[in-house]
Amino acid sequence: MAGTAIVWVAEGTWPACVDAARTWVPDGDDIVLLHVSGGEIAAVQGALAGLLGRSRRGPEAGLDALSAEAVTALLERAAQRLGRHARIEQRSGRVEREVVAAADGAAVLICARDGDRSRLGPRSLGPATRFVVDHVPCPVLLVWPGEAPGVDSIPPPPPPGAKPPPPPPHDRR
């Protein structure tokens, strides 16, 4: 592969991504463990500020520190599981766009399915992961975060003569 492998470390699916890196990324290649924080904490802080008043310094004051500690702990667990040197990268912003930007110039992006895990198909990707898979400028190693469902989980084909469903709308954000 030769180059840099980006491993998207997302809550709930990161162990499968790290295990895939251990299996598929050659020893001489660089690995980046990437975590992107979206606007979740800012939204919670805004809600709390609205409830408590913006001039007060309430429980939202410690959320940034707790969030940073949780992300650091998550990345430390990922690095431990990987068992070899990796660079840690933390970003914040629109998750899907930050992952795409981080993967620019990479040899591969390793990410996991994060949607419906009960069946094979496009709904096994959440919206951010779908955006990343559709837009990332490098090869993608897409892994199941657990055992993949059987091929019998594929929905039956539409009846003859039926029109295919329209494609999902393109995210214009």
The answer to whether residue 160 is domain-embedded is no
The answer to whether residue 164 is domain-embedded is no
Nearest alpha carbon to residue 173 among 139, 142, 128: 128
pLDDT tens digit string along 48-89? Answer: 455 555 544 444 454 556 688 999 999 999 999 999 999 999
pLDDT tens digit string along 124-134? Answer: 999 999 999 99
140-155 per-residue burial string, b: 16 or more CB within 10 A, e: under 16: bbbbebeeebeeeeee
Residue 66: partners with Cβ closer than 8 Å, 6 or more residues away: none
DSSP 19-42: HHHHHHS-TTSEEEEEEEE-SHHH
For residue 79, give the CATH number of its domain: 3.40.50.620
Q: What is the pLDDT of residue 50?
A: 55
pLDDT tens digit string along 76-85? Answer: 999 999 999 9
Q: What is the pLDDT of residue 42?
A: 47
The answer to whether residue 161 is domain-embedded is no
The answer to whether residue 159 is domain-embedded is no
The answer to whether residue 169 is domain-embedded is no
pTM of the predicted structure, to 2 decimals: 0.78
Domain extent at residue 24: 4-153
